[in-house]
């Protein structure tokens, strides 16, 4: 697409689709960001419930709302100067600019600013509206979640592993910068086509944690024993709600992601985890031994013909391809 063309974004995902990052969650009911009155009466009158397509924020004209989270909204936006391009603009929602929310927002912005890797969405710019609400501008990724991409295109086990390797390199880069992602999952890994080849992009550092220097000067509080992330991809220590986690929590989540890419499902039932109590979630993740990928695939109900076809392999060969090294790597 040339700079003069109008971007077609009707079916695209953005580099920050969840808008607010994964919020701290209760096992029984998701919590939302604290609600506060709008920043100023002027802003309420000017924007009503929030921005809309056609509004101008700094150098950027909003084109379309792409997603909303607990405290943030993400728009596809058009930049004309000094270069013409489509970007993703993430902004704190009207009335949600509490101290805690702004601190998390600044933390994500700074985490992305530290990154310089082809498999991590880049941040281009940052600023604040006239009424002081912060925003940042990042790379617009025309992609879909990694599991959807693999299934839609019938990727073989080998090709899935190639994409997964890109994700591992991105996470390794983040760790080298002292950043733990804490929410590795398919929807936070978008795959786009670049030079006729699939390119994975890790996105959404909304709940990232710094291992050394803080990412923001604002004090950021996370209560002990509070689940932060997505339960079916959490490591045991993250599920404990412990504040003392390290890079191994991302390595565990990578294992869950690979398990899903190979088998089409997560090690533990989504429905079971999401309906369980805090204590039961901890017990399941800490004590229950999930089926190995090859065992999961060998069971006819878990690996219907359609699932194997989407992986470009005959049904009776699927389990044998995974059995062995891949079983041990994932588990």
Rounded Cα distance between 102 and 129, Å, is: 13
Q: Phi/psi zone of residue 265: left (φ > 0), alpha (ψ -120 to 50 degrees), beta?
A: beta
Kindly list the strands in the beta sheet with 144-145, ordered across the sheet, starting from the edge strand earlier in the chain.
144-145, 189-194, 197-202
Catalytic residue among 12, 183, 204, 250: 183
From CA 35, how far away is CA 95, in angstroms rounded? 7
Q: Is 86 helix (H, G, I), strand (E, B) or coil?
A: strand
Give catalytic status of residue 183 as yes or no: yes
Spell out where the chain has E strands. Answer: 24-25, 56-57, 60-68, 72-79, 85-92, 123-128, 134-139, 144-145, 179-180, 189-194, 197-202, 209-210, 227-228
Provide the edge-to-edge strand list for the sheet that holds 56-57. 56-57, 60-68, 72-79, 85-92, 134-139, 123-128
Dihedral sign for Cα atoms in the order 331, 325, 247, 186: negative
CB–CB of 206/24 below 8 Å? Answer: no
List the catalytic residues: 183
């Amino acid at each position: 697409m040339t700079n003069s063309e109008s971007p077609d974004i009707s079916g695209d995902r953005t580099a920050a689709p969840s808008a607010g990052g994964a919020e701290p969650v209760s096992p029984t009911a998701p919590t939302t960001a604290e609600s506060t009155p709008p920043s100023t009466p002027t802003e309420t009158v000017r924007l009503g419930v929030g921005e809309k397509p056609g509004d101008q924020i700094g150098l950027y004209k909003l084109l379309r709302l792409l997603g909303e989270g607990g405290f943030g909204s993400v728009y596809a936006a058009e930049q004309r100067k000094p270069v013409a391009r489509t970007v993703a603009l993430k902004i704190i929602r009207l009335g949600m600019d509490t101290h805690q929310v702004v601190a998390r927002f600044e933390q994500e912005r700074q985490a992305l600013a530290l990154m310089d890797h082809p498999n991590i969405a880049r941040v281009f710019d940052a600023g604040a509206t006239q009424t002081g609400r912060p925003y940042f501008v990042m790379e617009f990724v025309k992609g879909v979640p990694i599991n959807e991409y693999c299934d839609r295109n019938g990727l073989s086990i080998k090709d899935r592993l190639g994409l997964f390797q890109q994700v591992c390199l991105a996470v390794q880069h983040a760790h080298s910068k002292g950043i733990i992602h804490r929410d590795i999952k398919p929807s936070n890994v978008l795959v786009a086509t670049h030079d006729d080849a699939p390119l994975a992009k890790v996105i959404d550092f909304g709940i990232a944690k710094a291992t050394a220097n803080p990412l923001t000067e604002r004090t950021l509080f996370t209560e002990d024993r509070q689940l932060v992330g997505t339960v079916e991809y959490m490591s045991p220590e993250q599920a404990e709600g412990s504040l003392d986690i390290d890079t191994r929590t991302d390595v565990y989540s990578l294992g869950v992601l690979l398990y899903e890419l190979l088998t089409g499902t997560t090690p533990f039932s989504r429905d079971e985890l999401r309906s369980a109590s805090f204590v039961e979630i901890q017990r399941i993740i800490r004590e229950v031994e999930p089926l190995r990928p090859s065992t999961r695939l060998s069971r006819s109900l878990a690996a219907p013909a359609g699932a194997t076809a989407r992986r470009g392999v005959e049904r009776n060969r699927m389990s044998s391809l995974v059995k062995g090294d891949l079983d041990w790597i994932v588990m």
